[in-house]
Structure 1
């Protein structure tokens, strides 16, 4: 019985001390893997044009889901399908960890909703 308890404690300690890089992704590795993303989404995740989503500060699990959906074809975008097809599961976790770790410049939807200014939005 004592050996079962000792083994259980050892397993618990190992599980708790395992690096989070595999569970949540590694942002430093993600920065290196995301270089092809920078052309449209920017190195800082703020995008180079309004038609490309800002990735900085986005929820990591949302971006992971989106990349899986592009990869499977559930989301339709030929460019993103090709980009996502090249990514392993660990690549997806690392790249999304990188972009989610960046500070977002969106603190409000002011001027980001079409017609908001015309509808009486204050400055």
Structure 2
């Protein structure tokens, strides 16, 4: 009985966390090609985005879109995207579990 109660308490504590996870954004596909659907880089040189701060991601995406960060690949990948779409992408990646640092 005690084990059942502990398990029920654990599940109750985790349920709200799952409810807060945003839905995958519609524009995730092209981002995921390099950064991974869950923010774990798929190619060398692409940064991991999982768990990055929401405000940082939001501002970085706006800077790529607007040309303030002059990276042709990112500007082309983002294309004409609205602030709402950028916000969805930033929310998605910031909500993902960060990648653990590898040990040398």
TM-score by length of structure 2 reads 0.71
Counterparts of 1:55 and 1:71, CA distance in 2: 17
Q: How does 1:85-96 map to 2 (within 5 A)?
A: 85-96=79-90
> Is there any run of 5+ residues in structure 1 with no aligned partner, and where?
1-25, 112-116, 118-123
Counterparts of 1:83 and 1:64, CA distance in 2: 15
Alignment length (residue pairs):
84
Alpha-carbon RMSD across the aligned residues, in angstroms, is 1.9
8 Å contact kept, 2:48–2:99: no
Q: Give the match's secondary structure for 2:30.
A: coil
Structure 2 equivalent of residue 28 of structure 1: 23
Deviation at 1:71, TM superposition (A): 1.2
> Is there any run of 5+ residues in structure 2 with no aligned partner, and where?
1-20
The structure that has the greater radius of gyration is 1
TM-score by length of structure 1 reads 0.61
Structure 2 equivalent of residue 47 of structure 1: 41
8 Å contact kept, 1:68–1:84: no
Q: How does 1:1-123 map to 2 (within 5 A)?
A: 27-30=22-25, 32-106=26-100, 108=101, 111=103
